[in-house]
């Protein structure tokens, strides 16, 4: 029964990913409610499982602590009091929105822990890799088809109102690109680490190319830049992994012998296969772009225009610069604890120099947003979280098991891609994208812990063997 519950809980995480992705990123009240109820149901099932097992066993990765710290920050900001003049005051400039945001953070952290406990095992990692590849490819094909047959309605049925930059199931082409960036590196990493066999590697490369083309044709400049950054990340760390494995092979087979001469078939540079694979994928993306027609993409990159949107090109100051400037002013007014998690929309008009014609809901920069909402404390928690995740990534890519290395490399590259995009947009403000980001972060963190445990165990075995040899001598 416990095994069956494990499967249901693990499957529930995938259902949550699919639902939030298809429900426009879970940005509407109804989809937010369904997502939260789904995670609460998974928590209850997990509780039942622990009761049946007669023990409480929860793996808590290192990045959990800063996430909990963010929840505590939101709770502190949510405290309100009534002054002598009868007016309510709080650290948050919109205490109601902060109190609405904190439960969402709790749900996301719960999903993070569920993923860390039910999707980071060696037995389930292949299933997770193939799921992310298949669902990412499905979303890419859907985005491309809808992009070429757009009739002004989501799923060709639901009117989108006054929006002008929707793509696929998302309300913005930038949001679609940010979501897809979390899928693209996974199949590439599976191919680079040889976690799958040759025919499957061809499919992984095909899936990555189609996903990348869907981002190109979404006309998101941030998405294009982030894909390039992700490919560079994969190439650099893929080469590092290859060099580490080559050195480990030489040490195992020949010891630390400087006179060793590798066989001819082993003299190929360790970095060449990885670099060649990434270069081949880049070439395939370019070829696909030329075949489908690069005019709209070139126009977007050079002039900042969305074909068919009726919007003329805008420079940086007109599109984002003034928002960033006023957001920085907001941070300067509340440097320690911020204006309140979720309070950005309410607080921004108090600090902007604009005439108020445009409603600004996000800062279009996730880093500035956390500083404005959470101050230096919130920024420090975010940095702590990222350091914890990428330290685990560094250990994970050294794993000898190809599936552990594949999900560590692909997950790390996916997180890095979205973090690059976060310099220009607000993808992490969408619950659906934040969920997938945290699931990948949880998997990377747990793989890093597992790799460290194996490394420590190996070191202890080597030390014991050396002691035995010394005593024998």
Beta bridge partners of 170: 167
Domain shared by 246 and 336, yes or no: no
CA angle 220, 224, 229 (to 5 degrees): 140
Indicate whether 142 belongs to any domain: no
Contact 415, 112 (CB under 8 A): no
Q: Is the torsion defined by CA of 425, 429, 432, 435 positive or negative?
A: positive
Q: How far is CA 29 from CA 4, 100, 127, 429, 431, in A?
A: 32, 11, 31, 15, 12
- Prediction pTM value: 0.87
**Given pLDDT bands bounded at 50, 70 and 90, which one contains residue 56?**
confident
Phi-psi domain of 220 (left: phi exceeds 0; alpha: psi -120 through 50; beta: other): beta
Domain shared by 285 and 337, yes or no: no
Beta strands 153-154 and 158-159 are: antiparallel
Domain shared by 47 and 21, yes or no: yes
pLDDT at 464: 46
Domain shared by 363 and 382, yes or no: yes
Question: Per-residue pLDDT tens for 306-330?
Answer: 443 444 445 555 567 888 999 999 9
How many Å is the maximal CA-CA distance in the chain? 86
pLDDT at 393: 95
Pairwise CA distance, residues 192 & 330, whole Å: 45
Output phi, psi for 411, to 5 deg.
Answer: -65, -45
Q: Is the pLDDT of residue 86 over 90?
A: no
Q: Is the pLDDT of residue 108 over 70?
A: yes
C-alpha 239: how far from chain center: 22
Write b or e for each residue in 255-279: b if 16 or more Cβ atoms lie within 10 A of its Cβ, otherwise e: eeeeeeeeeeeeeeebbeebbebbe
Element (H, E) at 154: strand 153-154
**pLDDT greater at residue 127 or residue 314:** 127
Domain shared by 376 and 232, yes or no: no
Indicate whether 138 belongs to any domain: no
pLDDT at 374: 95
**Given pLDDT bands bounded at 50, 70 and 90, which one contains residue 64?**
very high
Contact 407, 395 (CB under 8 A): no
Residue by residue, DSSP assigns 1-31 as: -HHHHHHHHHHHHHHHHHHHHHTTTT-SHHH
pLDDT at 248: 55
The stretch 126-140 carries a mean pLDDT of 96
Domain shared by 290 and 367, yes or no: no
Pairwise CA distance, residues 135 & 130, whole Å: 8
Question: Per-residue pLDDT tens for 399-423?
Answer: 889 999 999 999 999 999 999 999 9
Output phi, psi for 85, to 5 deg.
Answer: -85, 5
Domain shared by 289 and 197, yes or no: yes
Q: What percentage of the chain exceeds 90 in pLDDT?
A: 51
pLDDT at 148: 84
pLDDT at 221: 85
Q: How many domains does the chain have?
A: 2
pLDDT at 54: 84
What mean pLDDT, rounded, does the chain reach? 83
Beta bridge partners of 89: 81
Indicate whether 441 belongs to any domain: yes
Write b or e for each residue in 221-233: b if 16 or more Cβ atoms lie within 10 A of its Cβ, otherwise e: bbbbbbbebbbeb
Q: Is the torsion defined by CA of 310, 313, 314, 319 positive or negative?
A: positive
**Given pLDDT bands bounded at 50, 70 and 90, which one contains residue 197?**
confident
Domain region containing 108:
1-118+331-396+430-473
Indicate whether 298 belongs to any domain: yes
pLDDT at 315: 59
Beta strands 80-82 and 153-154 are: unpaired
Indicate whether 251 belongs to any domain: yes
Question: Per-residue pLDDT tens for 71-83?
Answer: 999 999 999 888 7
Lowest mean pLDDT among 55-69, 239-253, 287-301, 338-352: 287-301
Indicate whether 471 belongs to any domain: yes
**Given pLDDT bands bounded at 50, 70 and 90, which one contains residue 259?**
very low
Domain shared by 344 and 305, yes or no: no
Q: Is the torsion defined by CA of 37, 38, 43, 48 positive or negative?
A: positive
Lowest mean pLDDT among 40-44, 322-326, 359-363: 359-363
Domain shared by 3 and 108, yes or no: yes
Indicate whether 137 belongs to any domain: no
Domain shared by 112 and 195, yes or no: no
Indicate whether 127 belongs to any domain: no
Domain shared by 291 and 196, yes or no: yes
Domain shared by 182 and 233, yes or no: yes
Contact 300, 221 (CB under 8 A): yes
Beta bridge partners of 82: 88
């Amino acid at each position: 029964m416990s095994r069956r519950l494990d499967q249901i809980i693990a499957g529930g995480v995938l259902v949550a990913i699919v639902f939030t992705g298809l429900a426009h990123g879970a940005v509407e009240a109804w989809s937010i409610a369904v997502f939260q109820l789904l995670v609460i149901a998974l928590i209850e099932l997990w509780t039942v499982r622990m009761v049946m097992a007669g023990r409480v066993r929860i793996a808590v990765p290192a990045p959990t602590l800063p996430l909990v710290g963010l929840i505590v920050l939101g709770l502190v900001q949510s405290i309100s009091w009534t002054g002598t003049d009868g007016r309510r005051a709080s650290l948050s400039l919109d205490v109601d929105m902060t109190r609405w945001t904190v439960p969402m953070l709790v749900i996301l952290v719960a999903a993070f822990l569920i993923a860390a406990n039910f999707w980071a095992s060696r037995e389930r990692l292949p299933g997770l890799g193939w799921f992310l590849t298949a669902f990412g490819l499905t979303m890419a094909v859907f985005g491309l088809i809808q992009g070429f047959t757009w009739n002004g309605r989501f799923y060709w049925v639901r009117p989108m109102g006054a929006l002008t930059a929707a793509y696929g199931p998302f309300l913005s082409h930038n949001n679609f690109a940010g979501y897809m960036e979390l899928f693209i590196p996974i199949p590439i990493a599976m191919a680079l680490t040889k976690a799958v066999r040759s025919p499957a590697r061809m499919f992984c490369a095909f899936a990555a190319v189609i996903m990348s083309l869907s981002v190109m044709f979404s006309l998101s400049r941030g998405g294009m830049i982030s894909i390039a950054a992700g490919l560079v990340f994969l190439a650099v760390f893929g080469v590092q992994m290859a060099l580490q494995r080559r050195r480990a092979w030489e040490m195992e087979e020949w010891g630390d012998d400087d006179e060793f001469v590798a066989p001819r078939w082993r003299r190929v540079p360790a970095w060449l296969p990885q670099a060649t694979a990434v270069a081949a994928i880049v070439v395939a993306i370019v070829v696909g772009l030329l075949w489908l027609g690069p005019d709209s993409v070139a126009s977007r990159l050079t002039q900042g225009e969305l074909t068919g949107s009726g919007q003329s090109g805008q420079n940086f100051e007109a599109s984002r610069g003034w928002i960033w400037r006023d957001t920085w002013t907001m941070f300067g007014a509340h440097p320690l604890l911020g204006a309140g998690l979720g309070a950005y929309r309410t607080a921004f008009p108090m600090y902007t120099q604009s005439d108020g014609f445009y409603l600004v809901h996000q800062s279009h920069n996730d880093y500035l947003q956390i500083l404005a909402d959470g101050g230096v404390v919130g920024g420090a928690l975010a940095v702590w979280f990222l350091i914890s995740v990428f330290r685990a990534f560094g250990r994970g890519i050294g794993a000898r098991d190809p599936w552990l290395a594949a999900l560590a490399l692909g997950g790390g590259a996916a997180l890095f891609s979205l973090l690059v995009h976060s310099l220009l947009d607000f993808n992490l403000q969408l619950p659906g994208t934040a969920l997938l980001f945290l699931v990948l972060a949880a998997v990377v963190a747990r793989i890093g812990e597992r790799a460290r445990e194996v490394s420590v165990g190996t070191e202890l075995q080597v030390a014991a063997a050396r002691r035995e040899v010394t005593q024998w001598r």
